[in-house]
Amino acid sequence: MEYLKSVIPIIESNYDNFTTVEKNIADFFIYNRERIDFSAKEISKRLFVSEASLSRFAKKCGYRGYREFIYQYEENFVEKRDSMTGNTRTVLNAYQELLNKTYNLVDEKQIERICRYMAKASRVFVCGLGSSGLAARETELRFMRIGVDINSMDHSDVMKMRAVFQDQSCLVIGISLSGDKEEILFLLREAHKRGAKTVIFTAKNKMEFEEICDEVVLLPSLVHLNHGNVISPQFPVLVMMDICYSYYLAQDKFVKESLHDSTLQALRKGDLM
C-alpha cells in the first residue's frame, strides 16, 4: 500500500492560527479536487486575495514561501474520486485517508525522543477525557505489559490533584484532539513547571503548547476528513500510540517481549484459578 505525501494535514493542524483570509485560502486547498493553474497570480484572482496573503499563508504552514508550498502541493497532488458506493467502501476510504494523513504528520525523530523520555521516567502518566480517556486507558494497558510504570487518568479532579505531585522523574502525556481541554492543559502546565517532561497528542498546533510541552505530537484532524463522522475519534490517537509502542519495543526488544509473555502467563494462571 502506497502512502502519498501531502500538505493537507499541515494546513489542518495550523487552521486555528490562520486569519479569516488565510482560512479562506486553507479551505480552498483542503477541499480542492481538480488540477488547475496554481500560480500565485491565478489563485489570488480566484480567491480574491493578494499574492502577499498567499505568501503569509504558506509561511504559517512552515514553508519559505508560496512557491515552495505549491510545489509540494502540485508534486503530490492526487485527484480524488467522489464515486464511492456502499457504506463499507466509504468507511474504508475514510480510514485510508486518515492513515495517509498520519503518514504525513509523523516525525520519527520526535517519536524516538518520546521513547527516550519514557525509558528514563520513573513514572508515566497518560490522560484524556471522553474518547481520549479510552485511548489513554488502552495506552496504559499496552505499555504496562512491557514494563513501563504507567497510569492513565480520565477524571478531571484526579488530573488536577495529580498535577501537584509531578517532578523531574515523571513523564506526562496529554491527549486532546481539540487541544482545548482545560483539565489536561492544567496538568501539563503544572507538571512542566515542576520539571516533568510533558507531551501532548493533538490535532491543533497551538503556539501556547510550546510553553507547557516538550513535544507536540500532531494527529490528523477528523474535521476536514471526507465522511469523518463515521470514524471513531480514538483511531488517530491509537495509530500514533501504536507507532510509539513499536519504537519503544524495539529498544531492548528481547527483554520487553519477555515481559509481555510474562503478563500473558499471569493472565492465563488467573483464568485457571
Q: What is the pLDDT of residue 92?
A: 79
- In this structure, which amino acid lies at residue 4? L
**Over its length of 273 residues, how does the chain's per-residue pLDDT go in tens digits?**
455 668 888 998 999 999 999 999 999 999 888 889 999 999 999 999 999 999 999 999 999 999 999 998 887 665 544 444 577 777 777 788 888 889 989 999 999 999 999 999 999 999 999 989 999 999 999 999 888 999 999 999 999 898 889 999 999 999 999 888 999 999 999 999 999 999 999 999 999 999 999 999 999 887 765 555 667 888 889 999 999 999 998 887 655 566 556 665 655 665 555
Per-residue confidence (pLDDT) for residue 98, from 0 to 100: 85
Angle at 191 between CA 186 and CA 192, to 5 degrees: 100
Residue with cell string 523520555: 117
> Please, are residues 103 and 92 in contact by the beta-carbon 8 Å criterion?
no
Q: Beta partners for 215?
A: 199
pLDDT of amino acid 224: 61
Q: What pLDDT score was predicted for residue 242?
A: 94
Q: Note the pTM of the prediction, 2 decimals.
A: 0.71
The confidence score (pLDDT) of residue 1 equals 47
pLDDT at 89: 77
Domains of the chain in start order, with CATH, are: 8-80 (1.10.10.10), 107-269 (3.40.50.10490)
